């Protein structure tokens, strides 16, 4: 952990507090504390404990019909893990910037710049349009790293929405990316959402320059310089007595004739709430992914079925399960969660039985390997 991080933390929060006094505007402070214990067994036994605190401050300033606000949040995390096979253990204490966003908004537009989360699409479990974040649907905290970006949204009176964004200075992979972006070259994209009589339809595009390093040169012969990558996404949401949604993503890379040239992902989902007891919510999704030298080629296909079931026992207790099924390997991935809620407190007991990791090439799904149990306590203030 860098020595100047605590100093920056104190200075930043002091600045927000002083600004609130001087401007006589609204300063909202809240936070989330969580601690967890996990025990799992795959090829060996593994124990992991974690303590996390995520403070968040929002300074708001109203000017006529517009609102200016600044959001600042940190992720303070301490973890300890032990491998019982090798008797090795790992410990880590870390503090990092989680969100830092300035926003100008009104009833017709919104403009944000900074470290933020950009997400869209109707998918719940397996999301082809998870381009800029990595959110595991099994994670009770629902935390994901943000991206340094600028985003503008405009809302027309006929309910058509336009998004325009640009990303800059992001040094790690995000979403479904296999290769890193060139952080010195800005990424750009946009999205249009069209209202339908019973739902919504969206079109999204994104362009970036992929950074070529030595490891990539070894993986893809003939690649010497940075190359372009383009994404096209389509999504649909319809509401009847049941809900239906779909996401489709095409990725094309300006590469020589290799299997990484073209990639496509497709997902279709449906949900329904049965009138059983307090209401039994069920949802299912089918996911398909493949690579190829052209869009019509299907190499290394991944076919997954996913299902989630949630039942609120009463005002305090609820049960939920999530299943994944690999149609190619016939492997199962099972997750069970019991949630107890008392006002600002939440308590989770989770169990899982999995055949390793989900084979989707996205680190968002690389938790809960093997068999195990996790207990988590959460407090919001």
Where are the chain's structural domains? 108-380
Residue 9, classed as helix, strand or coil, is helix
Mean pLDDT, range 41-58, rounded to an integer: 89
Q: How far is CA 335 from CA 33, 165, 322, in A?
A: 23, 35, 5
* Statement: residue 12 has pLDDT above 80: no
Give the model's pLDDT for residue 8.
Answer: 56
Q: What is the DSSP letter of 364?
A: G
Mean pLDDT, range 5-17, rounded to an integer: 56
Mean pLDDT, range 212-239, rounded to an integer: 84
* Statement: residue 320 has pLDDT above 80: yes
Mean pLDDT, range 188-196, rounded to an integer: 97
* Statement: residue 201 has pLDDT above 60: yes
Q: Are 96 and 218 in contact (CB under 8 A)?
A: no
Closest CA to 32 of 47, 13, 54: 54
Phi/psi at 311 (5° precision): -135, 120
Task: Give domain 108-380's CATH number out of 3.40.50.1220, 3.40.640.10, 3.30.110.30, 2.40.160.100.
Answer: 2.40.160.100
- 224-231 contacts: CB < 8 A, separation 24 or more? 226/182, 226/185, 227/253, 227/254, 227/255, 228/253, 228/254, 229/253, 229/254, 230/205, 230/206, 231/131, 231/189, 231/204, 231/205, 231/206, 231/207
Distance separating alpha carbons of residues 125 and 117, to the nearest angstrom: 18
* Statement: residue 206 has pLDDT above 70: yes
* Statement: residue 2 has pLDDT above 60: no
Distance separating alpha carbons of residues 309 and 284, to the nearest angstrom: 9
* Statement: residue 22 has pLDDT above 60: no
* Statement: residue 361 has pLDDT above 70: no
Burial of 186 (C-beta count, 10 Å sphere; 0-12/13-18/19+)? middle
* Statement: residue 243 has pLDDT above 90: yes
Average pLDDT, whole number, for the chain? 88
* H or E, element range at 10: helix 4-23
Closest CA to 32 of 62, 69, 76: 76
Q: How many residues belong to the chain? A: 381
User: pLDDT for 251-295, tens place per residue?
Assistant: 998 876 666 678 899 999 999 999 999 999 999 999 999 988 777
* Statement: residue 227 has pLDDT above 90: no
User: pLDDT for 26-44, tens place per residue?
Assistant: 888 999 999 999 998 887 7
* Residue 14, C-beta contacts closer than 8 angstroms, at least 6 positions apart: none
Beta bridge partners of 165: 151, 189
* H or E, element range at 96: strand 89-105
Give the model's pLDDT for residue 16.
Answer: 59
Distance of CA 94 to the CA centre of its chain: 20
Beta bridge partners of 31: 55
Distance of CA 144 to the CA centre of its chain: 5
Distance separating alpha carbons of residues 161 and 152, to the nearest angstrom: 10
Around Cβ 120, how many Cβ atoms within 10 Å?
19
Give the model's pLDDT for residue 366.
Answer: 63
Distance separating alpha carbons of residues 233 and 207, to the nearest angstrom: 12
Distance separating alpha carbons of residues 29 and 41, to the nearest angstrom: 40
Give the model's pLDDT for residue 15.
Answer: 57
Q: Are 223 and 195 in contact (CB under 8 A)?
A: no
Distance separating alpha carbons of residues 82 and 275, to the nearest angstrom: 45
Distance separating alpha carbons of residues 51 and 138, to the nearest angstrom: 18
User: pLDDT for 332-358, tens place per residue?
Assistant: 999 999 999 999 999 999 999 988 777
Mean pLDDT, range 125-133, rounded to an integer: 94
* Statement: residue 363 has pLDDT above 60: no
Distance separating alpha carbons of residues 360 and 82, to the nearest angstrom: 27
Distance separating alpha carbons of residues 109 and 122, to the nearest angstrom: 22
* Statement: residue 1 has pLDDT above 50: no
pTM > 0.85: yes or no: yes
């Amino acid at each position: 952990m860098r020595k100047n991080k605590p100093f920056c933390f104190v200075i930043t929060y002091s600045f927000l507090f002083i600004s609130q006094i001087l401007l006589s505007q609204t300063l909202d402070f809240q936070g989330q504390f969580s601690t967890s214990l996990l025990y799992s067994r795959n090829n060996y036994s593994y124990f992991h404990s974690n303590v996390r605190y995520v403070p968040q401050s929002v300074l708001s300033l109203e000017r006529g019909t517009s609102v200016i606000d600044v959001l600042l949040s940190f992720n303070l995390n301490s973890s300890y893990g032990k491998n019982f096979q090798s008797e090795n253990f790992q410990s880590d204490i870390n503090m990092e910037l989680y969100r830092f966003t300035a926003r100008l908004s009104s009833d017709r537009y919104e403009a944000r710049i900074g470290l933020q989360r950009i997400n869209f699409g109707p998918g719940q479990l397996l999301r082809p349009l998870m381009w800029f974040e990595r959110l595991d649907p099994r994670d009770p905290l629902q935390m994901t790293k943000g991206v340094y970006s600028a985003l503008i949204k405009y809302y027309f009176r006929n309910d058509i929405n336009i998004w325009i964004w640009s990303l800059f200075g992001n040094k790690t992979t995000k979403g479904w990316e296999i290769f890193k972006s060139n952080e010195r070259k800005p990424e750009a994209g946009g999205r249009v959402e069209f209202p339908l009589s019973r739902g919504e339809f969206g079109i999204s595009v994104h362009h970036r320059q992929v950074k070529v390093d030595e490891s990539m040169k070894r993986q893809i012969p003939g690649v010497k310089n940075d190359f372009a990558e383009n994404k096209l996404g389509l999504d649909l949401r319809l509401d009847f007595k049941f809900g239906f949604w779909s996401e489709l993503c095409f990725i094309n890379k300006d590469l020589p004739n290799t299997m990484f040239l073209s990639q496509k992902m497709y997902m279709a989902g449906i949900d329904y709430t049965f009138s059983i007891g307090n209401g039994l919510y069920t949802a299912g999704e089918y996911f398909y992914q493949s690579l190829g030298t052209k869009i019509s080629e299907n190499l290394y296909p991944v076919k997954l079925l996913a299902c989630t079931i949630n039942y609120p026992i009463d005002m305090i207790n609820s049960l939920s399960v999530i299943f994944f099924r690999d149609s190619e390997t016939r492997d199962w991935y099972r997750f069970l969660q019991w949630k107890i809620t008392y006002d600002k407190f939440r308590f989770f007991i989770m169990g899982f039985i999995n055949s390793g990791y989900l084979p989707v090439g996205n680190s968002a799904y690389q938790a809960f390997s093997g068999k195990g149990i996790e207990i988590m306590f959460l407090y919001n203030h």
